Structure 1
């Protein structure tokens, strides 16, 4: 199974994707909260969170900026909360890494 197949079948199921101009799949605030919840459940690493506002790329944050591991739930949960408070109406995308162990299931 590929990483994309795993994400589609286990993380993005039932969520509405919005395709960004850069090819990333963006989600509404509510759907992205579910993506993060599923990522935590499966232990998926989140390297960065990208935001889009009115169809334009807005802001990108990376786990290295906070000196945290990509699998640290605290970094992406906290920063998602900050992003939500900073600007309403954004869509969210992330860069994921699914472990080989999960893909082998």
Structure 2
């Protein structure tokens, strides 16, 4: 399973991508409600989020990066705080993030190729 497959099949499952032209996970945009579920799943699986970007009416509203909070990208406290800060500043924003799925996590979801017995 690739990083993109993991994100689409597990993290983004049942969430609505508001950017229909998105080709990679960092381009996916989500509503406030969907992004709340997304970050809960990211925290559960131990994903790293490097940045959270927001838009209001198709115009960039703001961005926050893990370095702004002096936290590691894998520390869920920074992206939960960033999300809550944006949520309280403006309702109805669209959210996107840049992600990294740990290779150990991907290996747990990858099935080894089965060999045909002779």
Structure 2: gaps (5+ residues): 109-118
Q: Distance in 2 between matches of 1:68 and 1:77?
A: 12
Do 1:6 and 1:103's aligned partners in 2 also have CA atoms closer than 8 Å? yes
Per-residue deviation, 1:102 = 1.1
Structure with larger Rg: 2
Moved more, 89-98 or 17-26: 17-26
2:17 counterpart residue number: 17
Aligned to 2:42: 39
Q: How does 1:73-92 map to 2 (within 5 A)?
A: 73-92=76-95
Please state if 1:71 is matched with 2:74. yes
TM-score (norm 2): 0.83
User: How many positions carry a matched residue from both structures?
Assistant: 105
The runs of at least 4 aligned residues of structure 1 exceeding 3 Å deviation read 20-23
Report the Cα distance in structure 2 between the residues aligned to 1:22 and 1:12, rounded to whole angstroms: 13
Preserved contact between residue 50 and residue 93 of structure 1 (Cα < 8 Å)? yes
Unaligned stretches of 5+ residues in structure 1: none
Say whether the 8 Å CA contact 1:20–1:55 is kept in structure 2. Answer: no
Matched, 1:53 2:66: no
Q: Contact conserved, 1:44 with 1:99, CA < 8 A, in 2?
A: yes
Structure holding more strand per residue: 1
Q: 1:64 to 1:90 in 2, by over 3 A?
A: same
Distance 2:64 2:20 in 1: 17
Is it true that 1:99 corresponds to 2:102 in the alignment? yes
